[in-house]
């Protein structure tokens, strides 16, 4: 969680200064979900992400240096500068890809689960998408198909209560997203997405059920982004577009998943303050080094602009 937070926050200043141009949808505030979900997965389990996937990539074991380099558009990036922030991949870690078409990878993750079923593999796929994706028909098509064939997949909906600029209550009459899985006879849960232990425990149960062959599971994680929809503060071409009420933002800042988990660790004496500070310093250095790695890396060769069109 800390690595994701520090990596995300390290991008804020460079974005404001214009050093980073690729649109970054920061994951700050939602780290407990990727962390709690991926802690239950192995390398052979497959994850597909979305536009806001720096956290999913890192939690699944993606390489930090390569992610930061990709965001800066360098040849050493995980996609050699062809992807940018919204397209990340680390196939060797089972993170097949994140793409920014809303709900675009839901069906792909379903296909990954179908492949596992055909090959009789005992793994599972996870599809991360947001509350906005509940407006897309392909989500319902995919759930129906996955349920019909009892595919090993978790539909992980990160509900941060906003589809870009639009509050949830203005695009859905029913606030309870976990209900959408029920007509497809998919078991579903509604979890505090800012509580990493609750996330972990729920997903653990889901993984067990899936491995017993019970078919897909839908989990709604309720969370909040501490940054803008895109960039640090939704400053789009000079105008502030974050319309979220200040009081609401303040309330969620108090529920910061990192603070919540630190408190729990201290209270249960699982870690001391010194240990936590030590971990923080180590992680700060790791993030700094990733930036240095990117700075030293060369740009892609413009002559190679059409490299990789075909395999």
Partner 1 sequence: MENDSNVFLIGQGVQSPWYVGNTCEGLLEKFGEARVIDTPISENAINGAAVGAAICGMRPVVIHPRIDFMVYGLDPIINEAANWHYMFGGMSSAPVVVWAIINRGGEQGAQHSQALQALFSHIPGLKVVMPSNPYDAKGLMISAIKDDNPVIFIDDRWLYNLEGDVPKELYSVPIGKGTIKRTGKDLTIVATSYMVNKSIDVVSELEKNGYSIEVIDLRTIYPLDEELILKSVKKTGRLVVVDSAWKFCGVGGEIIATVTEKAFNYLKVKPLRVTLPDCPAPSSRVLENAYYLSEKEIIKAVKSILAK
Interface with partner 1 (CB under 8 A): 46, 48, 77-83, 87, 89-91, 96-97, 99, 101, 104-112, 114-119, 125, 137-138, 141-142, 144-145, 148-149, 307-311
Nearer to partner 1, 80 or 229 (CB): 80
Minimal distance, residue 298 CB to partner 1, in Å: 14
Minimal distance, residue 51 CB to partner 1, in Å: 13
Minimal distance, residue 270 CB to partner 1, in Å: 37
Nearer to partner 1, 257 or 300 (CB): 300
Nearer to partner 1, 111 or 193 (CB): 111
* Residue 75 structure tokens: 């040849």
Nearer to partner 1, 135 or 272 (CB): 135
C-alpha to C-alpha distance for 158 and 155, rounded to whole angstroms: 10
Nearer to partner 1, 1 or 125 (CB): 125
Minimal distance, residue 219 CB to partner 1, in Å: 19
CA atoms within 13 A on the CB side of 69: 25
Minimal distance, residue 228 CB to partner 1, in Å: 24
Nearer to partner 1, 154 or 191 (CB): 154
Minimal distance, residue 257 CB to partner 1, in Å: 29
């Amino acid at each position: 969680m800390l690595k994701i937070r520090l990596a995300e926050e390290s991008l804020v200043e460079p974005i404001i200064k214009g050093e980073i141009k690729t649109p970054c949808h920061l994951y700050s505030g939602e780290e407990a979900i990727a962390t709690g979900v991926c802690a239950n997965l192995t390398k052979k389990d497959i994850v597909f992400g979305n536009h806001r996937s720096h956290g999913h990539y890192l939690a699944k074991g993606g390489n930090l240096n390569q992610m930061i380099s990709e965001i800066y558009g360098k040849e050493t990036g995980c996609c050699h500068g062809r992807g940018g922030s919204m397209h990340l991949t680390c196939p060797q870690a089972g993170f097949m890809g994140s793409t920014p078409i809303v709900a675009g990878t839901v069906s792909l993750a379903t296909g990954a689960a179908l492949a596992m079923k055909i090959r009789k593999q005992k793994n599972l796929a996870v599809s991360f998408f947001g509350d906005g994706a509940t407006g897309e028909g392909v989500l319902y098509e995919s759930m129906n198909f996955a349920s019909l064939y009892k595919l090993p997949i978790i539909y992980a909906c990160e509900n941060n209560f906003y589809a870009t600029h639009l509050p949830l209550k203005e695009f859905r009459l029913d606030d309870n997203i976990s209900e959408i899985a029920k007509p497809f006879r998919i078991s579903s849960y509604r979890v505090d997405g800012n509580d990493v232990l609750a996330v972990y425990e729920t997903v653990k149960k889901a993984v067990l059920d899936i491995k017993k062959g019970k078919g897909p599971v839908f989990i709604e994680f309720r969370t909040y982004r501490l940054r803008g929809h895109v960039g640090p503060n939704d400053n789009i071409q000079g105008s502030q577009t974050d319309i979220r009420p200040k009081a609401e933002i303040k309330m969620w800042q108090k529920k910061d998943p990192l603070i919540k988990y630190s408190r729990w660790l201290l209270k249960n004496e699982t870690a001391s303050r010194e240990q936590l500070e030590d971990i923080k310093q180590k992680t700060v250095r790791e993030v700094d080094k990733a930036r240095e790695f990117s700075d030293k890396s060369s740009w892609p060769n413009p002559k190679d602009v059409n490299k990789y069109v075909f395999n």
